[in-house]
């Protein structure tokens, strides 16, 4: 077993136009001041990283890592959640997701997909240049509009969607493999990979690709009423990243999982700051430690009620308190009898 690394913080929800959230140097200083030891970097925030430059210039990558190191931090992973979403988009979502891409590809789904694929490939190369071994992303979705089986889905529709998803991701996974980096899908509603079954459907189609791994975030499972502790037992060998994010689910006689088209604050299921929701983090940290999870515990803050700066401050303390420093000896070593083979045989009546 090993001790989980952390606390770290995903910077996406904190990026802004004013200090200390406007530049990578400033936000690293802020995060370090709260007690964080690592930062997960969203690659679509140009004030934090030039992704193409990080992919093509080792000097620039070293400078980026040096900025974090100056504040006593490590870059834990890069993220392409928004770009990964654009690898596969159903036409129903074209207008909504165009905003994730540059204006030059708006209204052109083929060009937008090509842009997204290039972004992912640069992310693989940038991760290698930064000395990183994991990367976070979304899978995108072709079948999500058909999540509920009414009207009845035509035979083969879902299968074709997943076949196409695999065709699009296999060359990207191969690029990550060439760069020695695990691509970790955040299993998330709105993605075709949104639970264990859909992940397995995808994994089968990419021939159990060794780089097609998982980012574990229990908050998305609370909102689906999925057993997030059993999920660790099933998929621990593929879990390479961990978002520490809380959520609560409070169904009523008026709404449940689907939320009645309500805003986040009015939904039965909503994200909360760490410690304010229903997630059993003691159980999660215990299971991940038991299974020798090698990565970072990374705060992802999303709360419908609490101010983000309060959530960040409390999150560092919360994660630090839940990280289990693994033992180097068994608790009952004091009672060891120090017997040998001959003594054991005698005890068993075999002498």
pTM for the whole thing? 0.95
Supply the DSSP symbol for 324.
-
pLDDT tens-place string over residues 80-137 = 999 999 999 999 999 999 999 999 999 999 999 999 999 999 999 999 999 999 999 9
- 5-16 pLDDT, tens digit per residue, is 999 999 999 999
Q: Is the pLDDT of residue 312 over 80?
A: yes
Q: Residue 340's pLDDT band (boundaries 50, 70, 90)? A: confident
pLDDT at 331: 75
**pLDDT for residue 186:** 98
At 196 the pLDDT is: 98
Rg (CA), the chain: 22
Q: Does residue 310 have a pLDDT over 90?
A: yes
| Rounded CA separation 55/218 (Å) | 31
Flag whether pLDDT at 160 surpasses 90: yes
Mind listing the pLDDT tens digit for each residue in 98-112? 999 999 999 999 999
Residues 148-158: tens digit of each pLDDT: 999 999 999 99
Residue 337: pLDDT band with limits 50, 70, 90 = confident
Percent above pLDDT 70 for the chain:
100
pLDDT score recorded for residue 83: 98
pLDDT digits (tens, 9 = 90+) for 228-238: 999 999 999 99
**Strand-pair category, 239-244 with 134-137:** unpaired
Output the CA–CA distances (angstroms, integers) from residue 254 to 67, 225, 272, 299, 308, in the order listed: 50, 17, 21, 32, 29
**pLDDT in the model for residue 346:** 87
Are 212 and 173 in contact by the 8 Å Cβ rule? The answer is yes
Tokens of 268: 């039965």
Q: Is the pLDDT of residue 72 over 80?
A: yes
The fold of 5-347 is TIM Barrel (3.20.20)
pLDDT of residue 113: 98
What average pLDDT does the segment 338-346 reach? 85
Query: Measured between alpha carbons, how far is 118 from 76 in angstroms, rounded to an integer?
Result: 22
Q: What is the pLDDT of residue 6?
A: 97
Separation CA 24–CA 17 (nearest Å):
12
* Mean predicted lDDT score pLDDT of the chain: 97
What is the structure's pLDDT at 132? 98
Q: What is the mean pLDDT of residues 262-280?
A: 98
Convert the pLDDT of each residue in 192-213 to its tens digit.
Answer: 999 999 999 999 999 999 999 9
Query: pLDDT band for position 330 (50/70/90)?
Result: confident
- Strand-pairing partners, residue 215, are 186, 241
């Amino acid at each position: 077993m090993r001790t989980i690394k952390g606390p770290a913080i995903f910077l996406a929800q904190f990026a802004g136009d004013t200090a200390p959230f406007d530049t990578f140097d400033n936000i690293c200083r802020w995060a370090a001041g709260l007690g964080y030891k690592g930062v997960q970097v969203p690659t679509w925030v140009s004030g934090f990283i030039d992704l193409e430059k990080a992919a093509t210039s080792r000097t620039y990558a070293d400078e980026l890592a040096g900025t974090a190191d100056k504040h006593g931090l490590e870059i834990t992973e890069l993220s392409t959640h928004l770009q990964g979403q654009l690898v596969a988009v159903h036409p129903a979502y074209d207008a909504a997701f165009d905003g994730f891409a540059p204006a030059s590809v708006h209204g052109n789904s083929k060009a937008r997909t090509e842009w997204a694929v290039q972004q992912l490939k640069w992310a693989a190369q940038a991760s290698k240049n930064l000395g990183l071994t994991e990367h976070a992303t979304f899978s995108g979705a072709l079948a999500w509009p058909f999540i509920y089986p009414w009207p009845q889905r035509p035979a083969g529709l879902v299968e074709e969607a997943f076949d196409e998803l695999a065709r699009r991701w296999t060359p990207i996974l191969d690029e990550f493999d060439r760069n020695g980096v695990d691509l970790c899908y955040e299993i998330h509603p709105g993605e075709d990979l949104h639970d264990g079954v859909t992940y397995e459907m995808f994994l089968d189609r990419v021939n159990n690709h060794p780089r097609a791994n998982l980012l574990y975030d229990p908050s998305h499972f609370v909102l689906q009423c999925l057993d997030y502790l059993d999920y660790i037992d099933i998929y621990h060998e593929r879990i390479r990243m961990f978002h520490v994010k809380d959520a609560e689910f409070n169904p009523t006689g008026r709404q449940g999982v689907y939320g009645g088209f309500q805003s986040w604050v009015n939904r039965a299921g909503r994200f909360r700051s760490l410690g304010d929701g229903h997630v059993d983090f003691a159980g999660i940290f215990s299971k991940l430690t038991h299974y020798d999870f090698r990565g970072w515990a990374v705060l992802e803050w999303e709360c419908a009620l609490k101010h983000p700066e309060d959530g960040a401050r409390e999150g560092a303390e919360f994660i630090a308190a839940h990280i289990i420093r693994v033992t180097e000896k068994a608790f009952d070593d004091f009672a060891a009898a120090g017997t040998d083979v001959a003594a054991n045989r005698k005890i068993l009546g075999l002498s």
